[in-house]
Amino acid sequence: MPDDCLFCKIVNKETDTRFLYEDDTYVVFKDIRPAAPVHLLLVPKTHIRSVNDLTPSHQSLVGGLFQLAAKMAKEQGVDQSGYKLLFNVEKGGGQVIFHLHLHLIGGWQR
């Protein structure tokens, strides 16, 4: 892990970030600057820089991430109203933390 990676620090509990979910592979926490009433970050514990760095060995990790997204959406009560899942990829794609994470965004009144 690069020692300047904020999400590695969060994963390793070096910050006081509260986890909404944790298992051996992922953590989930609230985005510090929420773009909507529900804005979670789903983060694999292993350090992967971005979607560009995914390999065939990450297939089950990525599959599991989407299943976790559906579970968290249900827990947050937005599964039926709907939500967005977003990966920002590299600088031009809006990525600012270079440790793979999936945004789960929802909870608007529509």
Binding-site ranges for ligand 5GP (CB under 6 A): 6, 17, 29-33, 41, 88, 94-97
Cβ proximity to ligand 5GP: between 56 and 93 the closer is: 93
What is the b/e burial string over 47-85, where b = at least 16 CB atoms within 10 angstroms of the residue's CB?
Answer: ebebbeeeeeebeebeebbeebbeebbeebebeeeebee
Which one of Zn ion, ligand 5GP, none interacts with residue 62, CB within 5 to 8 A by kind? none
Tokens 């590299």, located at residue: 90
Q: Has 58 been annotated as catalytic?
A: no
Cβ proximity to Zn ion: between 46 and 81 the closer is: 46
Q: Which contiguous run of DSSP H or E holds residue 104?
A: strand 102-106
Which one of ligand 5GP, Zn ion, none interacts with residue 8, CB within 5 to 8 A by kind? Zn ion
Closest distance of CB 3 from ligand 5GP, Å: 16
Cβ proximity to Zn ion: between 5 and 36 the closer is: 5
Burial class (CB in 10 A: 0-12, 13-18, 19+), 9: middle
* Per CB under 5 A, 6 contacts Zn ion: no
